[in-house]
Amino acid sequence: MAEESIKKTQELLAALSINAGVHKHAAVKTAEEHAAIIASELDCVLVKNLFMRDSKKAVSYLIAIKNDRKLDLKNIHKLIGASAVRFADEKTLLATLGVPQGHVTPLAVANDATHQVVVVLDKALEGQNLGVHPLTNEATIVVSYQDLEKFLAAQGNPVKVVDFDAAPAPAPADKKEKKEEKKEQKKPAKKKGETMLGIEAKKAEDFPLWYSQVVTRAEMIEYYDISGCYILRPWSMFIWKKIRAFFDEGIENLGVEEAYFPLFVSQKRLEAEKDHVEGFAPEVAWVTKAGNSDLEQPIAVRPTSETIMYPAYAKWIRSHRDLPLKLNQWCSVVRWEFKNPTPFIRTREFLWQEGHTAFATLEEAAEEVTDILELYRRVYEELLAVPVVKGKKTENEKFAGGYYTTSIEAFVPSTGRGIQAATSHCLGQNFAKMFDIEFEDDKGKKRQVWQNSWGLTTRTIGVMTMVHGDDKGLVLPPRVAQKQVVVIPVLFKESDNVRIAEGLKLVERELKTAGVRFQVDDDTNHNPGWKYNQYEMKGVPLRIEIGPKDVEKKQVRAVRRDNSAAEDIAWDQLATRVPQLLNQIQDDMLARARKTLDERTNICVDWEQFSAALDKRNLALSTWCGDSDCEAAIKKRSGEQAKDEVEEHQAGDEGATGNANMEKLTGAAKSLNVPFEQPKLEESHCCVGCGKKATTWALFGRSY
């Protein structure tokens, strides 16, 4: 593990042209041990690190100070601008920075998927060479203060420089205070009845940390040692499997066949279509070596497959009889983006399907574009219980090199941000011209094909999690849950075991008859209360409890995950009632999410209403003139306005407190799409941006 951590650190620094020497040593657990083992060997200032949480505002701080500095922990919050701080527990540390206690380093912010951790630097470190851990306490790496600043700027985390020398020295602590301080470092505050195995962060207070805890503790993902790449565990892969099966059936009915194309694309092919490659150029990952030998020409890892597939299409399509050609592949792609990596939502490698089709006419292509978009809507609404808005992207937001783009847009209420859920593009004839994809029509005349491409990714799982999850954890729609029902026996004394075991057999038989996916958890290592919390965190839609009194009455207690409603069900009614309940849960989840989307989509006919909608963290369905320059101006103006509001907040605006409220003030709003379903546009309606006559309604919002 130490070697992997060192290698990862070196790669992160090399990517920024930062040279740093690595000095390996025995593991050091404290700042004192670190100084004793390495200080005499290196000409640098060793850095001591504290990882703390603001208990009132749910903000994390990574404090990097001189190794020998003593701090007044009771008053440190005043120096760093926090309300009240305490040391974070190891689970929070692992979830946020990806390192255990004793391994904390400013370089660990590279693992901060949300880039929300505030880095506090000791002013005394300025201009010094610094000794820090390279994600492991078995080595020290020396970097200049300037290079550390450069590294932190590239990660995007907020940075504060604090003059700790100006702070009063801490008062001598008596033995009791020292004992309390040690206890504080070892164990975070815990309310009665809480368990640190569950979700500690509150969705409304610290959404990024909440999301990180949910996807890891509900066993959806496991972090990997390459930033932006994640291990998808069976709990999430089952969801993707259900999506794939549903979508495959839909596209097979449209005549689409499955194929597979190579992972790599040559530089020449990738750059064949200028507009297309410009859209992906910053994110393309290149292979430049094979073993120890440099490749003659670098090879790209596919960010998408147009330039891989279309040379083959040019070979296969000769006549109108070869059309339409409809192929889809399920694969992974790599986009080496440096925006905040977030599991499922924004990752460097992700799973998707990409369909690529060719037609003789624009009319045929256009029909398929809408057919596919409708299938995407059904995936989100019928499987994931997430409502979406279907529409057409503006010219500024369409797929690079395409003719036009349609999309479905979802909404995450907790952050007030829209999110592109899936896209279906009409590529027109642009790629046909670039790759000479021609056919001979029935009159013997050469024509170029009309093409489409469309894609759906594992982002679906992240959107579902963000929309439905709560403070207990994941909430799964029954249609995509690996286990729709968990059965938990409630044992009180040994004499009950035989009777409950007999009852369990009957319950299992009825659930098998019902055809539901279920699990019986009769493990005796954990009590029923622990199991309730565990399966609530994992989002199992329905919990069935069976205890001695239930056996006497030949019934079970069923508890819904989505709303905690409970009811008693007779054994002989289970085969019919459980499927009914699961269907009701599915429908209710969609209805609640749709109600929220409707309530949080504000009709806006002027800039004042537009700004108010954004400040409330809502979407703005706005009157718009349709002009691309006006659209860009709206984005710029809303971004500048948000920046001003953030500065006011930081200056002490009493009306904005905490992480959730800061969220509403950040980022520019952009057009999400022009919805197909349009409210009536009145003659008097003017564009919210420029004041000219409006020609359409467009959906604007801050987005992921």
Sequence-distant contacts of 432-438: CB under 8 A, at least 24 apart: 432/358, 434/272, 434/273, 434/310, 435/272, 435/310, 435/311, 435/313, 435/314, 436/314, 437/310, 437/313, 437/314, 437/317, 437/358, 438/314, 438/317
29 vs 493 pLDDT, higher one:
29
- The stretch 150-171 carries a mean pLDDT of 77
Q: Is the bond leading into 477 cis (omega within 30 degrees of zero)?
A: no
101 assigned to some structural domain: yes
Looking at residue 79, which CATH number applies to its domain? Answer: 3.90.960.10
Residue type, 633: A
pLDDT in tens, 257-290: 999 999 999 988 887 766 666 666 778 999 999 9
Token duo for residue 475: 């909430």
Strand partners, 45: 130
| DSSP code for 128 | S
Using DSSP, state whether 273 is helix, strand or coil: coil
| Band (661; pLDDT cuts 50, 70, 90) | very low
620 assigned to some structural domain: yes
pLDDT at 173 over 60: no
pLDDT at 196 over 60: no
Task: Count structural domains, the chain.
Answer: 4
Among residues 169, 194, 219, which one ends one of the domains?
194
pLDDT of residue 193: 35
Strand partners, 453: 356, 425
278 assigned to some structural domain: no
Looking at residue 545, which CATH number applies to its domain? Answer: 3.40.50.800
> Structure pTM?
0.74
pLDDT of residue 645: 64
- Name the least confident of 273-287, 296-310, 492-506: 273-287
pLDDT at 179 over 70: no
pLDDT in tens, 522-571: 988 888 999 999 999 999 999 999 999 999 999 999 999 999 999 999 99
pLDDT at 648 over 70: no
H or E stretch covering 279: helix 274-280
Q: Token pair 């642009």 is at which residue?
A: 430
* 600/411 Cα distance (integer angstroms): 9
pLDDT at 178 over 50: no
Among residues 140, 173, 194, which one ends one of the domains?
194
Same domain, 182 and 112: yes
- Name the least confident of 244-253, 269-278, 312-321, 333-342: 269-278
Residue type, 568: D
pLDDT of residue 274: 62
Same domain, 248 and 135: no
pLDDT at 447 over 60: yes
* 619/627 Cα distance (integer angstroms): 20
Same domain, 250 and 333: yes
Among residues 560, 579, 597, which one ends one of the domains?
597
96 assigned to some structural domain: yes
Q: What is the percent of the chain where pLDDT is above 70?
A: 90
Residue 701 CA neighbour count, 13 Å, CB half: 30
133 assigned to some structural domain: yes
| Band (18; pLDDT cuts 50, 70, 90) | confident
Same domain, 495 and 455: no
290 assigned to some structural domain: no
| DSSP code for 541 | S
Same domain, 88 and 173: yes
Same domain, 11 and 142: yes
| Residue 290 backbone phi and psi in degrees, to 5 | -125, 105
* 514/503 Cα distance (integer angstroms): 17
Same domain, 464 and 360: yes
Strand partners, 621: 603, 699
C-alpha dihedral sign at 664, 670, 672, 674: positive
Average pLDDT, the chain: 88
475 vs 174 pLDDT, higher one:
475
Token duo for residue 151: 């590294």
* 90/690 Cα distance (integer angstroms): 52
pLDDT of residue 185: 39
pLDDT of residue 412: 97
Same domain, 508 and 625: no
Which of the listed ranges 105-109, 130-134, 423-427, 502-506 does the model predict with the highest average pLDDT? 423-427
* 480/289 Cα distance (integer angstroms): 42
pLDDT of residue 388: 98
pLDDT at 114 over 50: yes
By C-alpha distance, which of 194, 137, 187, 126 is closest to 161? 126
Mention every residue, 6+ apart, whose C-beta is less than 8 A from residue 32: none
* 274/434 Cα distance (integer angstroms): 10
Looking at residue 639, which CATH number applies to its domain? Answer: 3.30.110.30
- The stretch 329-354 carries a mean pLDDT of 91
pLDDT in tens, 520-531: 999 888 889 999
Same domain, 177 and 88: yes
Note down the domain range covering 560. Answer: 478-597
227 assigned to some structural domain: no
- The stretch 591-611 carries a mean pLDDT of 98
Same domain, 444 and 537: no
pLDDT in tens, 42-72: 778 899 999 998 876 768 899 999 988 888 8
Same domain, 154 and 257: no
Residue type, 517: R
Looking at residue 393, which CATH number applies to its domain? Answer: 3.30.930.10
pLDDT of residue 278: 67
| Residue 683 backbone phi and psi in degrees, to 5 | -60, -30
pLDDT of residue 471: 96
| DSSP code for 165 | G
Same domain, 77 and 169: yes
pLDDT of residue 190: 44
pLDDT in tens, 233-245: 999 999 999 999 9
pLDDT of residue 380: 98
500 assigned to some structural domain: yes
pLDDT at 402 over 60: yes
